[in-house]
Chains A and B, each alone.
Chain A
Amino acid sequence: MKPQLHEIDVDQTLATTASLLAGQSIPDSVTPDDRIYQLIKDARKLYSDLAEPKSLTIEIERDQFAELFIGERNNHPDALLTELIPLADSFTLFASTAGQKVCTEIERLFASNEFPLASMLDATASEGADLVAEITQEMIRKQLKNNDQLDAGQELLRFSPGYCGWHISGQHKLFDTLQPSLIGIELSESYLMSPLKSVSGVILKAPIEAFDIYDNFPYCADCRNRSCRDRYHTLVAKMENNK
């Protein structure tokens, strides 16, 4: 399969005011003062002007992914994907980014002591990069559905090196196969992605039950975000709504 380049509309990746407030741990019951709303407005405007969201995907075979996943043999012995690989029947590598310009602006703002705007733009770009990955996953889902390759009861979920026992060094083989430099994402020797606001990983298609991931793996104790569980619950809720 050939890699697919996806140009994504920046507005689709723009974090909402509500999600940015929640991201700052400001409870719904609190009405922040006007300067915080202005800060969010400024950060969203900057993001709209500077972000260049795009992603790259390639579908590969199970065996190829299984080999790629082994990577440099640093994964946790109980890595989640070890269990999921036999259950999945589609493996799409992806890399997505909010682009370099917005990352450069965050650094510039921090260096200029513009901490409130730098921090809010950072939060906006982080959410933006996640939304690019989410939209990419949705694009893959639509493609599979349009090609009658998404059976009833099947769903998609994505995983990234650095999480769920998949060692960060897994980035190396992922990048070798996907070549995200085509959309300007580079990998450093220590597996850092540049631009910073980038996400990479694999999108798996499997029966939704396969994604009912329990969260008592040894490495889960060190993880607070539990986004794997959150995404699973979102999938279940979507399926329920579509019934």
Chain B
Amino acid sequence: MTNDILTQLTQVLQTGDATAVSDLTKLAIDQSIGTKIILDDGLIAGMNIVGERFKKHEIFLPDLLFSAKAFYAGLEHLKPLLLKEKIASPGKVVIGTVQGDQHDIGKNLVGIMLEGAGFEVVDLGKDVSPEQFVDAAVETNADVIGMSALLTTTMPVMKKVIDLATERKIKDQFKYIVGGAPLSDKFAKEIGADAYCFDTVSAVECVKGFVKGK
């Protein structure tokens, strides 16, 4: 019975049916399936498959977002239980669009997919200063700082974030991922970031890798 519900949950999540995901999550809770099992083996398992299919270009951004919306419909029911049962996320990521840049759609999508993978996301929004990034990472005890930029002229702010953490002698407390249209692997290496993520799925994979390696 447990496996049936979780399999169904994974399947309807892939189709992006938010109502069905909501109903099945409630049913799973009513059936006393463990909160973490519903999250990991139902919702996140479904999102993992969706992410893989997106990576293989079998589905496209709107499909991914229909599934993300469905994921959140299920997560709404689980959130109070996760808090009550003090179930920790596998990791925490502070994300933001760097100072001087206004483009936040990519950053938003990365945040959605990271939550879809079970991570706790602290979204600082856009036009985020180096101090705000570093302070938030310290305050929330984050594992990863994720920075986004679309303008070539705002890319240097990413280096300022890493330099500031270095200056405060806390650089190694965090991993640093960067993303945005004008960026490259080379740029990430030059500024001392740990990874350049070219899309939402690669961002999730990077964060998973970093958290696993801790």
Contacts and interface: CB of A to CB of B under 8 A. Distances in A.
A102 to B, nearest CB: 14
Contacts, number: 77
A146 interface: no
B105 A119 contact: yes
A173 B119 CA distance: 43
A32 interface: yes
B100 A168 contact: yes
A25 B65 contact: no
Nearest to B75: A113
B108 interface: yes
Given A115-B109, A122-B105, 18 more contacts: A25-B57, A30-B60, A35-B62, A36-B63, A74-B153, A115-B112, A119-B61, A119-B109, A162-B153, A168-B100, A168-B151, A188-B127, A190-B100, A192-B101, A222-B183, A222-B184, A222-B187, A223-B152
Contact of B100 (A120, A122, A192): A192
Given A168-B151, A219-B152, A222-B187, A119 B62 contact: yes
6 contacts: A116-B66, A163-B152, A168-B154, A192-B127, A221-B184, A223-B152
B155 interface: yes
Contacts of A35: 16, 62, 66
Contact of B72 (A113, A119, A162): A113
A50 B141 CA distance: 41
A139 to B, nearest CB: 26
Interface residues of B, number: 32
A112 to B, nearest CB: 10
B182 interface: yes
A115 B102 contact: no
Contacts of A196: 102
B62 A39 contact: yes
A239 to B, nearest CB: 29
Nearest to A106: B105
Contacts of B187: 222
Given A192-B127, A193-B102, A223-B182, A162 B62 contact: no
B68 interface: yes
Contacts of B126: 192
Given A190-B127, A193-B102, A115 B151 contact: no
A39 B62 CA distance: 8
B102 A224 contact: no
Contacts of A162: 151-154
Interface in B142-157: 151-155
Contacts of A24: 60-62
Nearest to A27: B57
Contacts of B63: 36
Q: Which of A114, A163, A192 has the most CB of B within 10 A?
A: A192
